[in-house]
Amino acid sequence: MMLIHPTLEQLRSLRLDGMAKGLEEQLQMASIEDLRFEDRLALLIDREVTERNSRRLKTRLRKAKLREKNACIEDVDYRSRRGLDKSLFLALSSCEWIAQHRNVLITGPTGVGKTFLACALAQKACRENYTVQYLRLSRLLEDMALAHADGRYPKLMAGLAKTDLLVLDDWGLAPLSDADRRELLELFEDRHELRSTLVTSQLPVEKWYEAIDHPTLADAILDRLVHNAYRIALRGESMRRKKAVKKAPPKRSSKPKEEKS
């Protein structure tokens, strides 16, 4: 047993933390001696692979900076009457659309769960070993403007161009400046048929042309974003409002109680 400690230290020094944990676990198993050496080694290798995959997933999720950190496809509510096509969403959860470099557009009124659905698909993409970045569109445009000023622009655009899935939340909330339109065209040109983009918006897709407010640039931007995209058009009342009503405590009666005689 005394020889085990140097072995554990060597495994950790080689960054084989999964194998080290697996070996410690095997030492606590009374029946482990019944297994052949090859079987025990296979278990240690499996433990290492699991540990490395877990670390990589944590890293991808941290870099993705998802707004809904707990969103996952397993928790999606299909019972609410909001027009969510279950078969389409389950098909999208396979992430094949990312492998095909297609886009997804999720539209609907505020509170119907657009951001949750977007983050659930993004979280599944992370689990499938894709790189992901979540950004509110207004924040992205602000960062692009600052990047021009401090010299980060080429690096910023290169990072966005190579990200497998870019999630742009809250499309169309504010008017676009001419610089904003040209930045978006540059972004989508870099990603067109090479990477995937997921956009959420309160505006229906049919009103995006008007929201961009520049015929030539609108044609160019939407051609690269919409023509190969899956669309999820949600409707209905705010799910947040419904949950708030359910959680609200019952109102107490203001009528004074009669005193007992």
CB 199 within 8 A of CB 102: no
Question: What is the CA 8 to chain-centroid distance, rounded?
Answer: 36
For the chain, the structural domain boundaries read: 4-53, 64-239
Hey, what CATH topology would domain 64-239 get?
Rossmann fold (3.40.50)
State residue 18's pLDDT score. 82
Q: Which residues of the chain fall short of a pLDDT of 70?
A: 1-3, 238-261
State residue 37's pLDDT score. 83
State residue 1's pLDDT score. 46
State residue 59's pLDDT score. 95
State residue 259's pLDDT score. 46
Q: Which of 164, 81, 173, 70 is nearest to 126 (CA)?
A: 164
Contacts (Cβ under 8 Å, ≥6 apart) of 70: none
Nearest-angstrom CA–CA distance, 134 and 140: 10
What tens digit of pLDDT does each residue of 129-149 get?
999 999 999 999 999 999 999
Report strand pairing: 132-136 vs 103-107: unpaired
State residue 256's pLDDT score. 54
Q: Which of 209, 206, 226 is nearest to 218 (CA)?
A: 209
State residue 104's pLDDT score. 98
State residue 241's pLDDT score. 57
What tens digit of pLDDT does each residue of 48-98 get?
888 888 889 999 999 999 999 999 999 999 998 899 999 999 999 999 999
Residue type (1 letter), 260: K
| Other beta carbons within 10 Å of 187 | 23
State residue 181's pLDDT score. 96
